[in-house]
Structure 1
Amino acid sequence: MAFWAVMVALSLVAKPQSEAEFRTWAPVVYVLAGAYIAGLTSVVWVLMPYAPYDLRLVVALFLFGLVVNLILNKPEGINFIRPAIICVTGSLAAFFALHPGPWSSAVVLFCLLFGGTLVALSGVFPTAMSEAFNARQVAVQALADAQTARAATTRFLASASHDLGQPLNSARLYFDRLMGSTSGRDRLKAAQGVEGAFEAIGQMIDQVTNYLRLDAGALASREAAVQLGQVIAQTVEQHEPAARTARVVLRTLSNRLVVAGDPILVERVLGNLIHNAIRHAQARTILVGAKRHGSMVRLWVIDDGVGILPADQATIFDPYVQGSDHAGEIRGGYGLGLASARLMADLMGGRVGYDPRWRNGSAFFLELSAC
């Protein structure tokens, strides 16, 4: 007991933290285990000779309980259980054989049978307990994932009913104006409004179906050498009208970098990042460029907008998630743009990310292997 007290005091003073310190202290566990076995065995030979016979039986039961507790609480990676069982039950059997009493023969037989059973179970029971614990952890995690998925689906349905309702209501109002107006100019504007509303609905449906196909693994990546300068120019050109409408200036940095990826998926990921910046960043300028980082190339979309709150950075690429700081903005969509970008990057063996070091807006990137 004094030895254990000294070792516990030393551990509290030293407070090992690093892996190297734990390796240094690891042999102490074996020393403590040996001392524990020696302590239990010494109880049999040092204390029990001075106890009356009925107290000896009580001590024997107490030692049996300690041995069973050892099996139930076996430290990971420490294999001293069987020596402890053999020493304790063997010592008890030998003691009662050498000190005859009314029940000595039965106690000796019980010690031998009980010890043999515990030795046989010592390798099975901890494994079964560990597997049961791991299975419980898996079940708890699965339940948490199911609850998260259900919450995400609930948010999606609420968002879908709201966001789809807006263009549908607009289309109905424009259609009523179209049917009730006799002015050719008013009818033309109403028809354009109906067309724009249905175009918005189509974009929403395309966004959802594209994400569902990605999530189901229905899309495949066809690897090729992708000229980033050409992809950047094409994608920026496609988003110029939306940028002008939002009064955002799109700027590009020319480059001759080549990456390994699917040209269509690279363009889609870049388009998602640019679209997200135009729609939500409230920026004046968006810069699109690429830079090499060792064996990788990062395709950057940087804006001077409101940025991403630290609380949102860990979940911004999750499906059905939008930033919490809207700055008075009424947001549409389902929060699938960045989630889709992440899945497409994964298909190409790359990744998308957000650089929190950028302080004057936000900086998103697509990282792929350089050719």
Structure 2
Amino acid sequence: MNEETRWGLPNWIENLLLGRLTKRQKAIWMATLLALLLLVPGVDYHVGRDSFHMNLYPFPLMLSIFLFGRAGLFSIVVLLSLYHVVQVRLGFEGQTVLINNLAQFFLTLVIGLVCTSLVDAYRALYQGEKDLAESRNELLMSLTHELRSPLFAIRGIVRNLSRNIDKLSADEVRYKLNEAQAAIASINRDVEGLSQVFRVDLNKLEPQFQTIRASLLTEGVMKRHQPEFHPEHELVVEIASDCLVCCDPLLTQQLLDNLVLNSLRHTERGTVTLGAQDAGHEVKLTVTDEGPGIPPEDRERIFLRYDRGSRLTGEAGFGVGLYLVRIYCKAQNGRVELEDTPTGTRFAVYLRKGDESE
């Protein structure tokens, strides 16, 4: 039964194009290829000794490309070259046939190159669609899992308030509402993080560079993290030198916000410090926490999209925050590094120093 694929091709043709064959199918196609390699030269020799004739070599050539890719193209071209060299040396080819065979050789080579390019493009398209589908499924699973906890928390808080509103003091009601606000803020940050990833994927980032003081950048980040949302943490700012930074303020505040949020999420309690200092021709912006730290094997992996590293297993979030930090740094010709600290983790962002004349 020939089932059609989403591109309208029979299933067996798509499997051949993609090299997605069972052992039995591969054995059948290999036998077919060997038969063609024996049959085509014989037919070519007997039919075309004295006249021009149809070029038959593209058939085994294309099958070889489907089975072995570029290696298949190279192998058939080499075999075809040897075949013609032998015929010339043994005097089996007249002038007419020699011209015909040379034309066949170059035509076969062109067909092979075109076929190889088309097969590579088809396989790349298929792999791209497969990766997109896997990424979409992974995202939907993460969305379901990550949003469930804060939504359940909000539902529990609202239910508790509706049942016990007359029994709770004003401070207790305020505390419950702050908890609900924190859960809503968590959902909002997760959704915003995902929307930023989609914007980055669909549109090339074009930073709007300005010269701004480091203190203004940190002040904007502090405003987004109110103490009542993080009562178990202390968020402080330590600016060694309030130097000028040449950056896109929105992108820079967003990447600092992602770093602070990462530290708050993965530090049980303690201080998260937002800092800035002069670093020669650059400005160094830092976010330091007192959490468990990041294992050496995770130091590169945590910047990948949807990857949260081993220390983050079971934590909230989609694993896009640090991915965006690196993207935003690169867009501004900067870099982000992990620095060793006695306890916890320190992320250091290096951006170009600004000039008052700019």
The TM-score range, normalised by the shorter chain, is 0.5 to 0.7
CA–CA distance in 1 between the matches of 2:259 and 2:109?
Answer: 57
Task: Give matches, 1:1-371, under 5 Å.
Answer: 72-74=72-74, 87-92=85-90, 94-95=91-92, 113-178=100-165, 181=166, 183=167, 186-217=168-199, 221-233=207-219, 235-236=221-222, 239=225, 241=227, 245-248=231-234, 250-282=236-268, 284-292=270-278, 295-325=281-311, 331-345=315-329, 348-350=331-333, 353-355=336-338, 357-358=340-341, 360-371=343-354
CA–CA distance in 1 between the matches of 2:238 and 2:181?
Answer: 28
User: Does structure 1 conserve the Cα–Cα contact (< 8 Å) formed by 2:290 and 2:343?
Assistant: yes
CA–CA distance in 2 between the matches of 1:244 and 1:165?
Answer: 19
Matched residue of 2:276: which SS?
strand
User: Does structure 2 conserve the Cα–Cα contact (< 8 Å) formed by 1:167 and 1:200?
Assistant: no
- The one-letter code sitting in structure 1 at the alignment partner of 2:161 is Y
Deviation at 1:235, TM superposition (A): 3.5
Matched residue of 1:355: which SS?
strand
Deviation at 1:238, TM superposition (A): 5.8
Q: Which runs of 5+ in 1 are unaligned?
A: 1-56, 98-107
Deviation at 1:301, TM superposition (A): 1.1
Change (3 A) 1:318 1:175: farther
Deviation at 1:294, TM superposition (A): 5.9
Deviation at 1:212, TM superposition (A): 4.2
- The one-letter code sitting in structure 2 at the alignment partner of 1:363 is R
Change (3 A) 1:342 1:206: farther
Change (3 A) 1:89 1:146: farther
Deviations 1:129-178 (A, max 9, x none): 14412431342244134313321321222211233212221221122111
Deviation at 1:359, TM superposition (A): 6.2
Look at both structures and tell me which one has the larger radius of gyration over its CA atoms. 1
CA–CA distance in 2 between the matches of 1:145 and 1:310?
Answer: 30
Deviation at 1:203, TM superposition (A): 0.8
- How many residues align? The count is 289
Compute the TM-score of the two structures, normalised by the length of structure 2. Answer: 0.64
- The one-letter code sitting in structure 2 at the alignment partner of 1:368 is L
Matched residue of 1:250: which SS?
strand
- The one-letter code sitting in structure 2 at the alignment partner of 1:360 is T
User: Does structure 2 conserve the Cα–Cα contact (< 8 Å) formed by 1:174 and 1:190?
Assistant: no
Change (3 A) 1:71 1:279: closer
Change (3 A) 1:297 1:88: farther
Compute the TM-score of the two structures, normalised by the length of structure 1. Answer: 0.62
Change (3 A) 1:325 1:146: same
CA–CA distance in 2 between the matches of 1:263 and 1:96?
Answer: 75
- The one-letter code sitting in structure 1 at the alignment partner of 2:178 is G
Matched residue of 1:119: which SS?
helix
Q: Which runs of 5+ in 2 are unaligned?
A: 1-41, 47-55, 65-69
Matched residue of 2:291: which SS?
coil
CA–CA distance in 2 between the matches of 1:322 and 1:96?
Answer: 67
- The one-letter code sitting in structure 1 at the alignment partner of 2:130 is L
User: Does structure 2 conserve the Cα–Cα contact (< 8 Å) formed by 1:252 and 1:287?
Assistant: yes
CA–CA distance in 1 between the matches of 2:74 and 2:320?
Answer: 47
Change (3 A) 1:317 1:132: same
Deviations 1:24-44 (A, max 9, x none): xxxxxxxxxxxxxxxxxxxxx
Cα RMSD over matched residues?
A: 4.1
